[in-house]
Amino acid sequence: MPEGDAVYRTAERLRHALDGRVLTRSDFRVPRHATADLTGRAVTRTESYGKHLLTRVEGGLTVHTHLRMEGSWVVMPEGRRLPQGDKVRLVLANAEWQAVGVRLGMVDLLRTEHEDRVIGHLGPDLLGQDWDQDEAVARLRRNPDTTIGEALLDQRNLAGIGTIYRAETLFLRGVSPWRPVGAVADLDGLVSLARRLLEANKDHASTITTGDRRRGFETWVYGRAGRPCRRCGSRIRRGEMGAQPQERLILWCDRCQPG
């Protein structure tokens, strides 16, 4: 599941290939927009917001995509053969490049002035230029009885955290994922750490929270179920939490994250 930093990098790749260029071809392979055609319009800019991507084109239109579980945008030279099968959901091509949306979890086309309808419910974007820490913390505090593990994944509180950053942030702060939001002493510190982790990883493909780039040393708890905790030696626990069926996985250390 791509997290905010991966979506941020995807937006950069799409900007590089599409910004300022006229579309020579568009191919929406989703029933709702199967007849849409953006040929002849220039792409103005792609922005990421949390895990959402907004590709704006001339004429006041926005292509809204979401990678969900296993989606990706692949940029390749125009003319190269597309991936086979029914994986491709959308192609946006210009004279030089084609951006191919593979297994996208969502493809939508809407008026740019209506973008709020698809991202307006989201909390502040952890990697956004208008990041608002106070607002994110205030949104978390609104539901003090929710577990902090669930609250961090709820994109209405803050946008961009997935299962990796949730597990790593909570471990680093010594907070049990099962603790209610109202019982977390330093929400500010927790949120600002999550942001720093995403910032530190936004420009490269691997996720490193330990500061150690060697393979197998990148994370504290994520991907390490049953292995010894790097701090105390206890076995890393693995469980599921939350109502969002796609994002339940949680890893933690009982001793380092009591409660």
Instruction: List contacts with Zn ion (CB under 5 A).
Output: 229, 231-232, 234, 253, 255-256
Minimum distance from residue 194 beta carbon to Zn ion (Å): 19
* Residue in the shown chain whose Cβ atom is closest to Zn ion: 229
In the complex, the smallest distance separating the C-beta of residue 190 from Zn ion, rounded to whole angstroms, is: 18
Q: Which of 51, 195, 202, 224 is catalytic?
A: 51
Which of 13, 141, 238, 248 is catalytic? The answer is 248
Q: Quick one: 6 or 167, whose CB is closer to Zn ion?
A: 167
For residue 199, indicate whether it is catalytic: no
- Cβ of residue 162: shortest distance to Zn ion, in angstroms? 22
Q: Which is nearer to Zn ion, 95 or 232 (CB)?
A: 232
First to last CA, the chain: 28
The reply to whether 240 belongs to the active site is: no
Sheet holding 88-93, edge to edge: 25-28, 88-93, 97-102, 72-77
Q: Which lies closer to Zn ion via its Cβ, residue 210 or residue 234?
A: 234
Question: In this structure, are residues 83 and 39 in contact, taking their beta carbons and an 8 Å threshold?
Answer: no
Is 3 a residue of the active site?
Answer: yes
Is residue 248 annotated as a catalytic residue, yes or no?
yes
Please name the residues in contact with 155: beta carbons below 8 A apart, sequence gap of 6 or more: 50, 51, 122, 123
**Cβ distance to Zn ion smaller for residue 112 or 210:** 210
Residue 3 CB, shortest distance to Zn ion, in Å, is 23
Q: Give the count of beta carbons closer than 10 Å to the beta carbon of residue 158.
A: 28
Catalytic option among 2, 9, 89, 218: 2
Nearer Cβ to Zn ion (112/234): 234
Q: Which of 3, 150, 168, 218 is catalytic?
A: 3
How near is the Cβ of 34 to Zn ion at its closest, in Å? 52
Name the residues annotated as catalytic: 2-3, 51, 248
